C-alpha cells in the first residue's frame, strides 16, 4: 500500500520502537517510586522531556506530557477558560474538532474567526474578534488543507489587546521547524503520532510563569499539571521521535517532502482535467496537498484508490465515514458539492519519489474510471471494478 495519509498518523520509526520496547517488556516500575527501577523510569521521562523541549526550543520544565494531542488541546483551553476573566474565546473557523468541541462546552461565548478562500485567517476579523476577548486559540497548520497561519502576527495582535494565546501545533511540529522563541505563545499542543512516535501520547508546552489550571487532578504527577501514572514507554518513545525529528529538520528533509508532494500534485493536475488545489500554495505544510476532482465523488474515489493500493483521506481522519462536507472547506467558501469531491494526500519520510509518481498514476486512472461510471454527475454510485 502507498500510504499518503501522514496527517492522519505516521508509522513509528524503528529507533522509536527500539527505545520504547524495554519500557514495555523489561521495566514496569512506577516512576513516582523511591526504589532503583522507579528512579530509572523517572530519569528516562526527564530525558524525554528534554528531547521534546529541544524540538521546539523550550525549557524542559515547560513541557507537560498528556495522553494525546486532543488532551493537550482540551487541557490548554480548559485552563484558559477557568483562569481568564470575562470575555469571548476567539478561535479560527477551521480549527480541529478538539478545539471546536471544547469551546462548545464553555459557558463563555466562542467567536469563530473567518478565513479567506485560501484558508488563511482574516486578520481584520481576527482583530475585531479580539476586542474585549479573553483568549485566542489558532492552529499553526491545518490538518486538512495544510495551510499555515501567521501565528507570530496574530499573537502580537492578540497580546496588544491583552489576550492569552494557545496554538494547536499538532500538524506542524516535526514537519516544519517550530520554535517558541520565534512564536512566544503561552501554550502549544503537540502529538507524537504525527511525527513518527506512538499514538496515545501528547505534550503541552506551557510558558514558564504562565498561570495554569489542570484538567486532570489526582496524584499530582507532572508537577501537578497532569495527574495520572506516567506512560513511561510512550513518553520515552515521544522523546526519541522528537530527537529524530529535530535531526531530520536540521538536515532539511522538509525539501524532500515538498519534492514528493509537488511531483504528485503536478502529475495529478496535468492528468485529471478540472482538478483544483485547495489552500494557500505558499503558506502550506510541505507534505500536504488537498485536491478537488471535478465530477468525482470523494467516497467513490476512496474506494477505487483503496482497491488500487493507495491510502489517503477525504476531510480529516476523524470525519471519514460521516459524509458531511468538511467545515474547513465550507469556511473557505468551497461549495458543498465541490467539498464532496475533495481528497487530502499527505506524505511522510517513509514515502519515495517513485511512490509519489505511482500514486499520481493511480489517482488519474481512478478519476477516469469514476467519471466513466458516473457519467459526469456527482453523488453516490455503485462501482463495479471486476
In DSSP terms, which residues pair with 275 in a beta bridge? 293
Region near ligand PLP per CB under 6 A, out of 28-36, 163-171, 286-294, 360-368: 163-171
User: Per CB under 6 A, does 308 bind ligand PLP?
Assistant: no
> Which contiguous run of DSSP H or E holds residue 168?
strand 164-168
Between 13 and 68, name the residue whose CB sits nearer to ligand PLP.
68
The count of chain residues that interact with ligand PLP, using the rule CB under 6 A, is 15
Smallest distance, ligand PLP to C-beta of residue 335, A: 24
Q: How far is CA 124 from the centre of its chain?
A: 25
Angle at the Cα of 369 from the Cα atoms of 363 and 373, rounded to 5 degrees = 140
User: Taking the C-alpha atoms of 30, 225, 101 and 143 in order, what is their torsion angle to the nearest 10 degrees?
Assistant: -80
Q: Can you tell me which of 53, 129, 145, 170 binds ligand PLP, judged by CB under 6 A?
A: 170
- Residue closer to ligand PLP by CB (options 246, 344) is 344
- Shortest distance (Å) from residue 143 CB to ligand PLP: 3
Q: Does 279 contact ligand PLP by CB under 6 A? A: no
Q: Which is nearer to ligand PLP, 76 or 139 (CB)?
A: 139
User: What is residue 351's three-state secondary structure?
Assistant: coil
Binding residue for ligand PLP (CB under 6 A) from 4, 93, 139, 180?
A: 139
Tell me the chain's radius of gyration from C-alpha atoms.
21
Would you count residue 196 as binding ligand PLP (CB under 6 A)? Answer: no
**Those residues with Cβ within 8 angstroms of residue 199's Cβ, 6 or more apart along the chain or in another chain:** 9, 68, 192, 193
Cell of 151: 501565528
The H-assigned helical ranges of 272-352 are 298-307, 327-331, 336-339
- The Cα–Cα gap between 193 and 191 comes to 6
How crowded is residue 82: how many other Cβ atoms within 10 Å of its Cβ?
13
Q: Active site includes 68?
A: no
Stretch that binds ligand PLP, among 124-132, 168-176, 210-218, 371-379 (CB under 6 A): 168-176
Q: How far is the C-alpha of 175 from the C-alpha of 46, rounded, in Å?
A: 24
Nearer to ligand PLP, 238 or 360 (CB): 238
Whichever of 73 and 236 has its CB closer to ligand PLP, that residue is 73
Question: Does residue 143 bind ligand PLP (CB under 6 A)?
Answer: yes
Residue 99: all three cell numbers together: 478545539
**CA 53 – CA 74 distance, rounded (Å):** 20
Name which of 51 and 74 has its Cβ closer to ligand PLP. 74
Q: Which of 98, 248, 332, 363 binds ligand PLP (CB under 6 A)?
A: 98
Nearest approach, Cβ of residue 73 and ligand PLP (Å): 6
H or E stretch covering 41: helix 36-55
Answer yes or no whether residue 48 interacts with ligand PLP by CB under 6 A.
Answer: no
**Please, which of residues 56-85 interact with ligand PLP by CB under 6 A?**
68-70, 73
Which residues are at the interface with ligand PLP (CB under 6 A)? 68-70, 73, 96, 98, 139, 143, 168, 170-171, 191, 193, 202, 317
What residues act catalytically?
318
Amino acid at each position: 500500500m502507498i500510504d499518503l495519509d501522514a496527517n492522519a498518523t505516521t508509522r513509528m520509526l524503528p529507533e522509536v520502537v527500539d527505545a520504547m520496547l524495554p519500557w514495555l517488556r523489561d521495566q514496569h516500575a512506577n516512576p513516582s517510586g523511591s526504589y532503583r527501577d522507579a528512579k530509572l523510569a523517572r530519569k528516562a521521562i526527564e530525558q524525554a522531556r528534554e528531547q521534546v523541549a529541544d524540538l521546539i526550543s523550550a525549557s524542559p520544565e515547560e513541557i507537560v506530557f498528556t495522553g494525546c494531542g486532543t488532551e493537550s488541546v482540551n487541557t490548554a483551553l480548559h485552563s484558559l477558560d477557568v483562569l481568564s476573566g470575562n470575555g469571548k474565546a476567539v478561535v479560527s473557523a477551521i480549527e480541529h474538532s478538539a478545539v471546536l468541541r471544547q469551546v462548545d462546552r464553555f459557558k463563555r461565548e466562542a467567536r469563530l474567526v473567518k478565513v479567506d478562500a485560501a484558508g488563511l485567517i482574516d486578520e481584520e476579523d481576527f482583530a475585531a474578534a479580539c476586542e474585549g476577548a479573553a483568549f485566542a486559540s489558532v492552529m499553526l497548520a491545518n490538518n486538512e488543507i495544510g495551510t499555515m497561519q501567521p501565528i507570530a502576527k496574530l499573537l502580537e495582535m492578540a497580546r496588544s489587546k491583552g489576550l492569552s494565546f494557545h496554538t494547536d501545533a499538532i500538524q506542524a511540529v516535526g514537519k516544519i521547524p517550530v520554535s517558541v522563541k520565534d512564536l512566544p505563545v503561552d501554550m502549544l499542543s503537540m502529538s507524537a503520532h504525527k511525527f513518527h512516535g506512538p499514538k496515545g501520547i501528547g505534550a503541552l508546552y506551557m510558558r514558564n510563569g504562565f498561570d495554569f489550571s489542570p484538567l486532570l487532578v489526582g496524584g499530582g504527577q507532572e508537577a501537578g499539571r497532569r495527574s495520572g501514572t506516567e506512560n513511561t514507554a510512550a513518553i520515552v518513545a515521544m522523546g526519541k521521535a522528537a530527537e529524530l525529528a529535530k535531526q531530520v529538520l536540521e538536515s532539511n528533509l522538509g525539501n524532500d517532502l515538498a519534492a514528493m508532494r509537488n511531483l504528485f500534485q503536478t502529475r495529478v493536475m496535468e492528468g485529471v482535467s478540472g482538478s483544483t488545489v485547495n489552500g494557500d500554495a505558499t503558506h502550506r505544510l510541505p507534505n500536504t496537498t488537498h485536491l478537488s476532482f471535478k465530477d468525482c465523488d470523494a467516497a467513490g474515489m476512496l474506494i477505487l484508490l483503496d482497491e488500487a493500493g493507495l491510502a489517503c483521506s477525504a476531510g480529516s481522519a476523524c470525519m471519514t465515514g460521516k459524509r458531511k462536507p468538511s467545515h474547513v472547506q465550507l469556511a473557505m467558501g468551497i461549495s458543498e458539492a465541490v467539498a464532496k469531491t475533495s481528497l487530502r494526500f499527505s506524505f511522510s519520510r517513509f514515502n519515495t519519489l517513485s511512490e509519489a509518481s505511482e500514486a499520481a498514476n493511480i489517482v488519474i486512472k481512478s478519476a477516469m474510471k469514476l467519471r466513466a461510471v458516473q457519467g459526469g454527475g456527482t453523488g453516490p454510485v455503485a462501482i463495479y471494478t471486476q
